[in-house]
Amino acid sequence: MSSKDVILGRVRRALADVPADDTGTAHTAGYARAVDRDYLRAHGERTEEETVELLAENLADYRAIVHRTDAGGLAGLLGRLLADRGARSVLVPPGLPPHWLADAGPRRVEDLATSTPHELDEVDSVVTGCAVAIAETGTLVLNGGPDQGRRRITLVPDHHICVVRVPDQVVSSVPQALERLSPGRPLTWISGPSATSDIELDRVEGVHGPRTLEVVLTTGE
C-alpha cells in the first residue's frame, strides 16, 4: 500500500458519516455540519487603530519596509520610493488608480500575458494594491484583481511596492481574511520579502520573489 492510499483511506474514514449527494461525494453543507469550527477567529479584541499598528509591527518583523501616508501624499511618496530605488522602469497593473503615480517618473511597463520571465526580470520595480492585509501574521494577500495584476509580476521583479488602504483592507486574523477571499481566485500570500535559510541558518533574500518589499499604508483612499 502506498502513502497515497493510506492518506486517501484516512480521508474516506473521516467522511464516512457525512451525507453524500447523488454523485457519491459529501455535501458541502453536510461537511460543514460535521466539522467543529468553534476556533478563535481572532486573538484578543483590538480597535481599528490597534489592528493597523499590529500589521505595521509584524510587517517590519518580516523585514518589509513600512511607510504611511494619506491620499494626498500617496503619489509623491511612491514617486520618491521609486526615485530612491533608482528605478528606470515600473510595472503597472491595468487597474492601478491613475492618480497613484505621477506622470513623471520611470518608464511604465504594462502587465501583458505575453511578457516573458526574462522581460519581467528586467523590470526594476512593480507597484500594486492588495486584496486584504492580515495584522496577526503580517501578511499581504493578492488575488489578481485589477490593481494587482497577474501573480508573476510580483514574483519576478526585485522590488515590490504594495499599497494597502487602511483601515478598510486590514483584518486581524487569517479566518477573517478568508471570509473576504474567493478560493477560485489566484491568491498570493506575502509575508515579507522572499527569503530562505540553508542548514546553517544563513538567510538569503530574493530566492523566489522580490528581495525588497515596501508596504505603503494609506488612509483616505
| CATH number of the CATH domain containing 193 | 3.40.50.10420
Q: 168 and 98 in one domain? A: yes
How distant is the alpha carbon of residue 102 from its chain centre?
Answer: 24
Residue 143 is assigned to a structural domain of this protein: yes
Q: 206 and 113 in one domain? A: yes
Structural domain span for residue 135: 48-219
pLDDT in tens, the chain (221 residues): 799 999 999 988 887 777 665 445 555 555 556 567 777 788 888 999 999 999 999 999 999 999 999 999 999 999 999 999 999 999 999 999 999 998 888 999 999 999 999 999 999 999 999 999 999 999 999 999 999 999 999 999 999 999 999 999 999 999 999 999 998 999 999 998 877 777 777 777 766 778 999 999 999 87
* Structural domains counted in the chain: 2
Q: 204 and 148 in one domain? A: yes
Residue 137 is assigned to a structural domain of this protein: yes
Cross-strand partners of 127: 161
* pTM of the shown model: 0.81
Q: 107 and 21 in one domain? A: no
78 grid coordinates: 511612491
Q: 164 and 98 in one domain? A: yes
